[in-house]
């Protein structure tokens, strides 16, 4: 079970557009950090820092293949975020259902 700190790291990492794009690109696991850096108007070091944030959050892993460090999306890390969002959705749907019941009961009760 992820801790509050784990959840904060995941959503803080996903709050940045560049990092979300890196997660998408890393699904195919074909690019290393150097190749990823070519997609962004920033230095290699800046891209490397973004990858490090994602790695600490458990959203990507790096695998050394020869001289390259290939970045791969960690699907389980994304599932943690998904499960939390699903939980929030379930809570809100329950509240909406309850509000709908209250409104219906109020309409049916004569004044």
Q: What is the pLDDT of residue 74?
A: 95
- C-alpha 90/C-alpha 109 separation (Å) is 29
pLDDT at 110 (0 to 100): 66
Assigned CATH for 4-108: 1.10.10.10
Cα diameter, the chain = 78
Per-residue confidence (pLDDT) for residue 21, from 0 to 100: 97
Residue 93: count of CB within 10 angstroms of its CB: 10
Q: What is the per-residue pLDDT for 105?
A: 76
Ranges under pLDDT 50 in the chain: none
Instruction: Tell me what pLDDT residue 48 has.
Output: 96
Q: In the prediction, which pLDDT does 91 show? A: 84
């Amino acid at each position: 079970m992820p801790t509050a700190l784990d959840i904060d790291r995941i959503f803080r990492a996903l709050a940045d557009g560049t990092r979300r794009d890196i997660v998408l690109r890393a699904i195919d696991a074909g690019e290393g950090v150097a190749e990823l850096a070519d997609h962004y108007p920033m230095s290699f070091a800046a891209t490397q820092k973004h990858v490090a944030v994602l790695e600490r959050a458990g959203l990507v892993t790096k695998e050394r293949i020869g001289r390259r460090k290939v970045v791969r999306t960690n699907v389980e890390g994304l599932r943690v975020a998904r499960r939390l969002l699903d939980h929030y959705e379930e809570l809100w749907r329950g509240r909406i259902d309850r509000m709908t019941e209250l409104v219906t009961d109020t309409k049916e009760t004569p004044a």
